[in-house]
Amino acid sequence: MNIPKLKHSDSGNFFLIAGPCAIESRDMALRIAEKLVALTERLKIPYIFKGSYRKANRTKLDSFTGIGDIPALEILKEVGERFDVPTITDFHESQEAAMAASYVDVLQIPAFLCRQTDMLTAAAQTGKVVNIKKGQFMSGDSMAFAVEKVKSVNPAAEVFLTDRGNSFGYGDLIVDYRNLPVMQAHGVPVVMDCTHSLQQPNQSSGVTGGKPALIATIARAAIAVGADGLFIETHPKPSEAKSDGANMLPLDQLEGLLEKLLRIRQAIS
């Protein structure tokens, strides 16, 4: 992938998208980024720092949505410049694509919005790399049309697809690993979202649940199947995270997991 600042892409390793769910503060973002940059440099894993500048899709009205769009985007820009790594964020309305693009290297289309033509074409028009999350209601085959929409506006656009499971009943998700090679057949890199695929949405409490103990299981299977990249949200103290803490990986557990995943990658190469 031709992503600005992306290093170690010739290492043969999978690439990693990781960071907090939402930008909670400058200090927290820099702390997480410093740890992840040092770790991925040592392991020679291509790395993209992730953080949402706003969380628009919340169950309850009073859920945390962000610290403000521009302050959060400025923090993302600072992370990219300070640590010389690419950054990614999601946006939720087509008119926000240009705004977000002026601060980050990769624009992400949220799963629930992956069919929204205006969102996809707006992202394409920025000239940035575009990550499209597969909707929980979509098959891998059907994501070809999302890629087509981006390419119709910008044929040279760099696009990758991210799987985050499929709805299974009212409050659970299940991962169909057939979707990874199916989406790779669209001619784009494919990422497995190892944290959101373990969400338990639509809980009666109004707070999304999760099964973080299974993050390693999802990640190991994805690498064994041949995923090009992994998406993992992480936080020093997930129980204190302001968004999606129920399905995040504790920051201090990421190193051991990545080392195991690299051994799986080497075994199947």
For every residue of the chain, DSSP letters joined together read: ---TT---TTSSPPEEEEE-SB---HHHHHHHHHHHHHHHHHHT--EEEE-BS-----SSTTS---S-HHHHHHHHHHHHHHHT--EEEE-SSGGGHHHHHTT-SEEEE-GGGTT-HHHHHHHHHTT-EEEEEPPTT--TGGGHHHHHHHHHH-TT--EEEEE--EE-SSS-EE--TTHHHHHHTTTS-EEEETTGGGEE-S-TTSS-EE-GGGHHHHHHHHHHHT-SEEEEEEES-GGG-SSSGGGPEEGGGHHHHHHHHHHHHHHH-
Give dist(CA 162, CA 219) in Å, integer.
13
pLDDT for the residue numbered 201? 65
Q: For residues 14-24, b (16+ Cβ closer than 10 Å) or e, as one string?
A: bbbbbbbbbbb
Give dist(CA 146, CA 116) in Å, integer.
9
Give pTM, 2 decimals: 0.94
pLDDT above 80 for 216: yes
Sign of CA dihedral 4, 8, 9, 15: negative
Q: What average pLDDT does the segment 237-248 reach?
A: 82
**Cβ atoms of 37 and 47 closer than 8 Å:** yes
Residue 100: partners with Cβ closer than 8 Å, 6 or more residues away: 53, 73, 89, 91, 107
Its CATH class, for the domain covering 30-268, is: alpha beta
pLDDT above 60 for 231: yes
Q: What average pLDDT does the segment 238-254 reach?
A: 86
pLDDT for the residue numbered 4? 86
pLDDT above 60 for 96: yes
Q: What average pLDDT does the segment 57-74 reach?
A: 80
Per-residue CA distances from 160 to 3, 65, 67, 106, 184 (Å)? 11, 26, 28, 10, 9
Q: Which of 1-5, 188-192, 202-206 has the highest mean pLDDT?
A: 188-192
- pLDDT class for 206, splitting at 50, 70, 90? very low
pLDDT for the residue numbered 3? 92
Mean pLDDT over each residue of the chain, to the nearest integer: 92
pLDDT in tens, 125-144: 999 999 999 999 999 999 99
Pairing of strands 209-210, 173-174: unpaired
pLDDT for the residue numbered 204? 43
pLDDT above 70 for 49: yes
